[in-house]
Amino acid sequence: MKKEIFVISLGLAMLLSFVAPAMAYSSPNKTPVMATDITMKGADYNAARDTWYSSDGMIVHHNSGQYKVWGIIDVYVDGVLTYDNIPWVDTIYAVYNKYTKEAVARFEEVWTLPGGTFEGTAHITTEGGSLTSYAVLDSHIILKGTGDYEGETISLSAHYVKGVEPFKLVYEGYWLTP
């Protein structure tokens, strides 16, 4: 039995000696990135929305597939303002519990940079308040590049607590390049 465990362990070690260099070689470059000065320029509130309530009236679901917001954002790469006033567009889907004051939202997000776009999803949870006015917000965004940014990924997260800090939503994370 001990001999079998030793042989299996040796086999795994040999396999890892071949796989680890390949994994290290394919690891992306991670550059710190920050998105801030998020400004909303408009919203399409007139779009038809599908809203329903759970049987007990506790959960409100807004299927807002046509509900869009847009604006501009500043992107800092490695601490330097690299992209100023970049246009963004979000399509929002959300579920909100009016009794617990908690929400979960998914934003289909597109950032338009010179030479291409970054497209992906933001997952946002809020506590205390409504979908637009909340006490706590946690968000994570994954965006995949197109055009000149093909094969690149931006991964960001943000945390905000009302009253603890002035309202300035700042996303921090990494720009991953092959």
CA dihedral of 74, 157, 51, 110, whole degrees rounded to 10: 40
In this prediction, what percent of the chain has a pLDDT beyond 90? 43
Local structure of 150: helix, strand or coil: coil
Domain ranges of the chain: 28-177
**pLDDT tens digits, 94-139:** 777 778 888 888 899 999 999 999 999 999 999 998 767 788 989 9
What are the backbone angles phi and psi of residue 90, rounded to the nearest 5°?
Answer: -125, 140
pTM over 0.85: no
- Chain-wide mean pLDDT for the chain? 80
CA distance to 48, 95, 177, per residue, from 36 (Å): 31, 26, 21
- Examine the pLDDT at 140 and tell me if it is beyond 90: yes
State which amino acid sits at residue 71: G
What CATH number matches the domain at 28-177, 1.10.10, 2.40.350, 2.60.40, 3.20.20? 2.40.350
* 24 phi, psi to nearest 5 deg: -65, -40
